[in-house]
Amino acid sequence: MTYTRTRPRAPRHSLGDDSLLAPTFWDELQILLLGATALPASEADPDDNINQTEGGGSTSAADFNAGAVCKPRNLPALSAVRSFQGQLNRVAQVKGFAKIATDGSVGPATLSLFRKVQAAAGGGAIMGDPSSCMGVAPDVDVLGAQVQTFADALGAPTTVSSAISLSPPTIVTKSGKTVVAPDAGIAGSLATLSGVEKIALLGVAGGIGYLLYTRGKKKRRR
């Protein structure tokens, strides 16, 4: 009996999804361009109060949307998560752990690295319950400070690289709108394109990818 190997189909996940799996550049581009259109921060609904936390200070459960991946509802919470992820990456640099994208989404990859960092610190030095994202996200500002203290004790560099991702940092507001962080760059600009513009750009990208693929095949045949 013979067996054939088939490539596993890439899982579908939403814009900004923090996943343990590492999709290819093409996978991420499709996710970005096929995702729902996001708003720039300047066009967010004033009633969503995206520039402040619900309590006006420290982050809390009210600042996050619960689910498999916890998305911030406002920009201060997003900033706190990204800072937290950056501190985790500092520890990862020293310990040799796989780094994560600083995308502001508390999902499987962030929780996995947090567990490793928490265990490495030992002795209850870093609090939090990484069994779910809501066991970490509400206290992300405090946990970020604890991870920073551990990273400093390890002599980790102040800034380190992070995993590359095409998913821009976004928030999902109280009214359910996806808003791109002001510093999201090119990926953020792509996320705010209309559906028609995204489909057109995806078609162009697909055409370029096909030409590069066929050209590569011709070169190998020579």
What residue segments make up the domains of the chain, in order of their start? 25-191
CB neighbours (10 Å) of residue 190? 20
Tokens 């991870």 appear where? 147
pLDDT at position 38: 78
Provide the residue type at 193 as one letter: L
Give me the residues paired with residue 64 across strands: 72
How far apart are the C-alpha atoms of 174 and 194, rounded to whole Å?
Answer: 22
How far apart are the C-alpha atoms of 183 and 170, rounded to whole Å?
Answer: 10
What are the residue ranges in the chain where pLDDT is below 50? 1-17, 22, 26, 29-34, 194-199, 201-202, 204-205, 208-213
Model confidence over 168-220: pLDDT tens digits?
889 999 999 989 888 875 655 565 654 444 445 445 445 544 444 455 555 56
pLDDT at position 129: 96
Tokens 């985790």 appear where? 88
How far apart are the C-alpha atoms of 88 and 139, rounded to whole Å?
Answer: 15
Tokens 């109060």 appear where? 49
How far apart are the C-alpha atoms of 221 and 72, rounded to whole Å?
Answer: 51
How far apart are the C-alpha atoms of 18 and 4, rounded to whole Å?
Answer: 31
Answer yes or no: pTM beyond 0.95. Answer: no
pLDDT at position 136: 98
Rounded to a whole number of angstroms, the CA Rg of the chain reads 19
3-class secondary structure per residue, the chain: CCCCCCCCCCCCCCCCCCCCCCCCHHHHHHHHHHCCCCEEHHHCCHHHCCCCCCCCCCCCHHHEECCCCEEECCHHHHHHHHHHHHHHHHHHHHHCCCCCCCCCCECHHHHHHHHHHHHHHCCCCCCCCCCCHHHCHHHHHHHHHHHHHHHHHCCCCCCCCCCCCCCCCEEECCCCCEEECCCCHHHHHHHCCCHHHHHHHHHHHHHHHHHHHHHHHHHHHC
